[in-house]
Amino acid sequence: MASLTVRKLDEVVKDGLRLRAARHGRSVEDEVRSILREAAAEPEPGRAPDERPQNPAPTARQAPAAPRRTAPMPGGGGRVLLIIGAGIAAYKSLDLIRRLRERGAHVRCVLTRAAHHFVTPLSVGALADEPCHTDLFDPRSEFDVGHIRLARDCDLIVVAPATADLMAKIANGHADDLATAVLLATDRPVLLAPAMNPMMWLNVATRRNVARLLQDGRHLIGPNRGEMAEAGEAGVGRMAEPLEIADAAQALLRPKSAGVLAGTRVLITAGPTHEPIDPVRYIANRSSGKQGFAIAAAVAAAGAEVTLVSGPVGLPDPEGVKVRRVETAADMMASVEAALPADVAIFAAAVADWRVAAAGDQKLKKTGEAPPSLPLVENPDILATVSRMEERRPPLVIGFAAETEHVIAHAKAKLARKRCDWILANDVSPESGVMGGDLNTIHLIRDDAVESWPRMSKDEVAETLVARIAAWRESRTT
């Protein structure tokens, strides 16, 4: 087959290609190949939707709220302080400066003490169009304690690349150079784009630091899986692509989705259920409730009237949310029914499929004979029950599919079986770290369309879902 050289594409098309490539972690050339492959495999008219290729390229219908590269950041673009750490990926941060600026952001840059080994203050300053800051003890900028000004005169701090060392310092509150002093002195949101060798990323110390940073409310984008600068090394550790980081920055700079769901009644379930065996023992699962609680908080912050029905978890009530705490699937079903009607129902709880048919009134005792048999009966299927309601069915019913294999195929089957409108599918296999962890990788499945979101924090999943629900609501009113 003849090779193909693509010329004379206008800038908008080129930018679209770059964005797609970044989202899929491919080179632009590979992205073009993939588009051609998909086009060649496009079903003929009249073919069943299931025969479409898996994971089709995003269409306007699939990703209504994905920010476009050309869309300016609100309020004149926002002020971003970009801190560049001392990693190989620092070269990509030069591109990031451009990506942020072309969205209208004002970008000011700080290099860590070691970062000048990777990029120069001159090129960083030239791209940002203002001098780059490097020295905590610079008499020209510190005569009026300039690092405090840097920390405050911005709307968002982006750290890219966030090296293992820099993340350790931030997690532990060090302030021994300009970058760390600024990060300690700021009250602005901080977005970290980690980049390091996969072994460094997996090291227990880094894991501990990442957990601490997320707990402290820092936002993370990436790292992605891919090849490393080191020959022959691959795995999770590549810095997210500049366009992905710019997208994440844009999402954080957007005035919080305040008001976009005002007047919407949203019902959410979260956490596990506990199914008693006797008064002291129960059947449960590893759900922490973090994702459902994050969604409840984000939906409430977007102005919705929220009822959260939660199984037993150790999380505080999110602000502005009516919380109903329950134990069993039967209790959860009853609370959900009592909370209807709603405009949107999001079923994030990991409801036990079965309960013990006849839980003991007293603690079961060892008798020295055969252990007791515990016949199980099926619990009510809350998602299917609400999805099939005739009168009080919420117009948008969203289920979660926690899968350990064939995530998308199983989730599509679940969407059809339960008759809900959307499924948020995630991989909860032990190696994913999703159950109880702070990060999640979601595939949003609607009818025949699959939209795969990059790995992000559970708060970011919640924000992204709010954007999708707001777009759904808008599409119904226009």
Ligand X SMILES: Cc1cc2nc3c(=O)[nH]c(=O)nc-3n(C[C@H](O)[C@H](O)[C@H](O)COP(=O)(O)O)c2cc1C
Q: Which residues are identified as catalytic?
A: 285
Q: Which residues bind ligand X (CB under 6 A)?
A: 85-89, 112-115, 163-166, 195-196, 200
Using the minimum distance from each CB to ligand X, give the nearer residue, 179 or 345: 179
Q: Which residues contact 72 (CB under 8 A, 6 or more apart)?
A: 103, 104
Q: How far is the CB of 84 from ligand X (least distance, A)?
A: 8
- Asked, as a colleague might, if the bond just before 121 is cis with ω within 30 of 0, I would say no
Using the minimum distance from each CB to ligand X, give the nearer residue, 193 or 249: 193
Nearest to 100 by CA among 138, 71, 136: 71
Using the minimum distance from each CB to ligand X, give the nearer residue, 66 or 196: 196
Q: How far is the CB of 51 from ligand X (least distance, A)?
A: 43
Rounded-to-integer distance, Cα 142 and Cα 139, Å: 5
Rounded-to-integer distance, Cα 421 and Cα 408, Å: 15
Using the minimum distance from each CB to ligand X, give the nearer residue, 146 or 194: 194
Q: How far is the CB of 12 from ligand X (least distance, A)?
A: 33
Q: Which two tokens stand for residue 115?
A: 């970062």
Using the minimum distance from each CB to ligand X, give the nearer residue, 203 or 385: 203
Q: Which two tokens stand for residue 82?
A: 């970009």
Which position has the token pair 């134990």? 327
Rounded-to-integer distance, Cα 31 and Cα 9, Å: 15
b/e per residue 354-392 (b: at least 16 CB within 10 A): ebbeebbeeeeeeeeeeeeebeeeebbbbbbebbeeeee
Q: How far is the CB of 163 from ligand X (least distance, A)?
A: 3
For 330-361, give the DSSP string: HHHHHHHHHH---SEEEE--B--SEEETT--S
Q: Which two tokens stand for residue 352?
A: 């036990």
CB 86 within 8 A of CB 134: no
Beta strands in 163-284 (DSSP E): 190-194, 219-220, 224-227, 234-238, 265-270, 275-276, 282-283
Q: How far is the CB of 168 from ligand X (least distance, A)?
A: 8
Using the minimum distance from each CB to ligand X, give the nearer residue, 157 or 164: 164
Count Cα atoms within 13 angstroms, Cβ side, for 374: 15
Using the minimum distance from each CB to ligand X, give the nearer residue, 197 or 429: 197
Q: How far is the CB of 195 from ligand X (least distance, A)?
A: 5
Q: How far is the CB of 454 from ligand X (least distance, A)?
A: 19
Rounded-to-integer distance, Cα 395 and Cα 462, Å: 20
